[in-house]
Amino acid sequence: MKPRYIVLALLLAILAVIVGWKFDFNDNLYSQVDELFIPDDIDYYFTSLNYRVMDEDGQPDYQLRSPYLAHYRRADISRVTSPDIHIFRDQQQWLVSAEKAELDHQKQLISLHQNVELERTGENALNLTSQLILFEPGENRLSSPGPINMNSSETRITASSAEFDLKKNVYHLKQIIAVYHAKNS
């Protein structure tokens, strides 16, 4: 056999080994990546959600807006991304935002998580921040089992926990540190 053919055969053999190794390497790369976990109990989801609930008198009770909501049928909960809630009350309105929320349909409870901000509009405007706020629409109650910060035009309050009765306008705060600004007359 001529040396040219031997060199060509050797080159082709080396090329075949390199190509085979490359394809085997790519297969191993893909097999190391976990498959995307998709829960098997989501029965519906919404994008660009705008959901309004009416009270017994047919008046708006609250409105929920979110870019994404998924309902999990086994636990009967909905998980919400970046929720904005507008709570309608006679004397004032409450605007609530958070990074995520969970709606427990059996308990009629909305749990707002991570960077939760409540803003009460109207005559006595108020801003409240926390990492967890629980909203019970049927009870007209907002609560935070953890620390909160509240600011108004005349007051700065920090508390270890809080409960707000929206119907009676009664607020319960625990372990308070408050700073009041008196207006000079």
CA distance 159 to 171: 12
pLDDT tens digits for range 12-64? 777 777 777 666 655 554 555 556 666 678 888 889 999 898 888 888 888 99
Look at the pTM and tell me if it is higher than 0.75: no
* Tokens linked to 5: 């053919």
Q: Is the pLDDT of residue 143 over 90?
A: yes
Q: Which of 69, 70, 13 is CA-nearest to residue 40?
A: 70
177 Cβ contact list (under 8 Å, min separation 6): 157, 158, 159
| DSSP-derived 3-state class of residue 96 | strand
Tell me the helix, strand and coil percentages in the chain, rounded to 5. 15, 50, 30
Provide mean pLDDT across the span 155-168. 90
Q: Note the helical H segments in the chain.
A: 3-31
Q: Which of 137, 138, 59, 140 is CA-nearest to residue 101?
A: 137
Residue 71, judged by CB atoms within 10 A of its CB (0-12, 13-18, 19+), counts as: middle
pLDDT tens digits for range 127-142? 999 999 998 988 889 8
**pLDDT value, residue 6:** 75
CA distance 29 to 34: 11
Spelled out in words, what is the top-level CATH class assigned to the domain 42-180? mainly beta
Cβ pair 92, 120 in contact under 8 A:
yes
